[in-house]
Amino acid sequence: MKRMIWLAAALLATSPALAWDLNSSDTKKTWSHVAFQADKLDAVELQFYCDNEYPDDIQMLVFTDQDARKGDEDFPDVAVTAVVDNDVFAELAGYYDNVDGERTVVIDTSEEARLREFIATARDAEQPIHISYDGRSHRFATDNIVPVLDGFLEGCAR
Classify domain 17-156 by CATH number.
Answer: 2.60.40.1880
CB burial of 132-141 (b: ≥16 within 10 Å; e: otherwise) equals ebeeeebebb
Give the integer Cα–Cα distance in Å for 35 and 152: 6
Q: How many CB atoms lie within 10 A of CB 4?
A: 8
User: pLDDT for 99-154, tens place per residue?
Assistant: 888 889 999 877 888 999 999 999 999 999 999 998 999 999 999 999 999 999 99
- Distance separating alpha carbons of residues 31 and 81, to the nearest angstrom: 29
**98 - beta bridge partners?**
103
Secondary structure letter of residue 108 according to DSSP: -
**Per-residue b or e along 114-130, where b marks 16 or more CB atoms closer than 10 Å to that residue's CB:** bbeebbebbbebeebbe
Nearest residue to 148 (alpha-carbon basis) of 33, 46, 22: 22
Model confidence pLDDT, tens digit, residues 37-95 = 987 777 899 999 999 998 778 999 999 988 888 766 666 688 999 999 999 987 899 99
